[in-house]
Structure 1
Amino acid sequence: MAYQTLQQEYLQIPVVTRAYTTACVLTTAAVQLEIITPFQLYFNPDLILKNYQVWRLITNFLFFGPVGFNFLFNMIFLYRYCRMLEEGSFRGRTADFVFMFLFGGLLMTIFGMFVSLVFLGQAFTIMLVYIWSRRNPNVRMNFFGLLNFQAPFLPWVLMGFSLLLGNSIIVDLLGIAVGHVYYFLEDVFPNQPGGGRWLKTPSIIKMLFDTPEEEDPNYNPLPEDRPGGFAWGEGRRLGG
């Protein structure tokens, strides 16, 4: 019964969030069990272009370091905000969500070459947090029960926390920058005088990921409809 309940809970996770978080956990488990090593996963343009090790374009987004506090912290935020986006503003728009992944990953890969980053998973998590926070500006956040602030400040609070842990903030800044580019092109520029939509999901992606059952143009997502249970970055809508 416990297994069936766990299986049901797992299958209720939206498909993109489920696939990505599962891939991250399995990759980390494989490294912990010494089935593979981080040297086979990290981003290296020379090995990709000269040795055709194209899997590195994907695997560098899947490894967050050895199991420990930093790994758990990243997994919680990745799962939480990826799911909130998929069940919120991307509900019924799986293809658009996949396209956001591809656009963010491509831009991050290009930028990553100039700042010599070998793993981009944490930056990708910050990108997801940034996009969610800008789309939910009225949500009040509580971080570790110590700080209270509105959602748009969350990526910067996480960057400060990362700095306190002794990590480089270049990763966080990259995630914020890419998240802002997507947010600007998708949410801001189309509403400006003379603006328009530059980001259009290719029809082949729509054909692969969108189904008629998923479409719900009348759905109006609320920040309260989100996975709960974590005190890190807990949110509440103002006036709620």
Structure 2
Amino acid sequence: MDIQGIPPITKIWAASALAVSLAEYVRLVDTYQLFYTPRLVGPPHWQFWRPLTSFLWFGKFGVDLVFHLFFFMRYSRMLEETNYINRKADYLCLLAFSASILLVLGPAFNLPYLASPLAFVLVYIWSRRNRHVRLSLFGILVVSAPYLPWSLVACSWLINYDSRLIIGDLLGIFVGHIFYFWDDVWPREHKSHGSSLMRAPAWLVRLLDDR
């Protein structure tokens, strides 16, 4: 993989996730310090880093982490290099919007770690924007892009039998659909006047994209 060619937001997220897993591996931090719960973020604990670290924990350092990072980076990179090329501000807003919804809904479903659900947001959005693409799933099954998220959920259930993982994946699909509707479907409606509700504010565009 061409490390230098990885777009900036994807690179920063992946490097941060790898750093967190390495820190846990050498026992600089514990997984208890990384998960998100509103109870510990506010007073009297003020553990304000938890909303961020919950999106950086893909798992313990090892083969499983490599698989999850590769999976996340593949679709994040494709989105950032196609739909969001020269639009870092808009891509950052996609991540911020999705992360905010997941932080609100995650505790209701007992989801302490939100990196995988956020990755599923990206998979869903990519799959809807590339509906004519056909992919080989694990070298066994060929599916059209719109069926990719659902196929991955089914495979995850068959492999892990962990309902919490499935709920996280489905929540990511749900949040991805919300964003897709407001950014892709709504602008085609007459009442929208062709404008998306998911564009970055002008100050952020000037800061990140110089346009």
User: What TM-score, normalized by structure 1, do the two folds share?
Assistant: 0.82
1:68 deviates by 3.8
Q: Hey, what's the Cα distance between the residues in 2 that align with 1:33 and 1:165? A: 28
1:42 aligns to what?
Answer: 35
Deviation at 1:125, TM superposition (A): 0.8
Does the 8 Å CA contact 1:99/1:205 hold for their aligned counterparts? Answer: no
Q: Distance in 2 between matches of 1:69 and 1:13?
A: 21
Letter of the 2:149 partner, please give it.
P
Kindly state the Cα deviation for residue 94 of structure 1 after the two structures are TM-superposed: 0.6
Q: Measure, in 1, the Cα distance between the counterparts of 2:197 and 2:89.
A: 16
1:88 corresponds to? 82
Given that 2:90 and 2:198 are in contact with CA atoms closer than 8 Å, whether structure 1 keeps it comes out as: no
More helix by share: 2
Separation in 2 of the partners of 1:108 and 1:24? 18
User: What is the Cα-based RMSD across aligned positions, in Å?
Assistant: 1.4
User: Quick one: distance in 2 between partners of 1:64 and 1:47?
Assistant: 21
| Distance across 1 between alignment mates of 2:203 and 2:42 | 26
In the alignment, the residues of structure 2 paired with residue 72 and residue 11 of structure 1 have an alpha-carbon distance, to the nearest angstrom, of: 18
Give unmatched runs, 5+ long, in structure 1: 1-5, 213-240
How many angstroms apart in 1 are the aligned matches of 2:152 and 2:65? Answer: 14
Aligned counterpart, 2:176: 179
Task: Give 1:199's aligned residue.
Answer: 198
Corresponding position of 1:170: 167
Q: Residue deviations 1:78-134, cap 9 Å, x none?
A: 110000000011111010001101001001111112112100001011111111110
User: 1:23-59 CA distances to partner (integer Å, 9 max, x unpaired)?
Assistant: 0111111101111111111001011012221111100
**What code does the residue aligned with 2:137 have?**
F
Letter in 1 for 2:36: F
Match of 1:77 among 71, 74, 78: 71
Identify the residue that residue 140 of structure 1 maps to in structure 2.
134
Is contact 1:24–1:62 with CA below 8 Å preserved after alignment?
A: yes
- Structure 1 partner of 2:59: 65
CA distance in 2, matches of 1:30, 1:38: 10
**Partners of 1:24 and 1:75 in 2: CA distance:** 8
If asked which structure has higher relative contact order (CA below 8 Å, sep 6+), I would say 1
Secondary structure of the equivalent of 1:11?
coil
Other-structure match for 1:230: none
Which is further off, 88-97 or 64-73? 64-73
The whole-number CA distance in structure 2 between the counterparts of 1:207 and 1:112 is 32
2:55 aligned counterpart, secondary structure: coil
Report if aligned partners of 1:126, 1:176 keep a CA contact under 8 Å in 2.
Answer: yes
The offset of 1:69, in angstroms, is 4.3
TM-score, with normalisation over the residues of structure 2? Answer: 0.92
* Of 15, 18, 22, the match for 1:22: 15
Shift of 1:211: 2.4
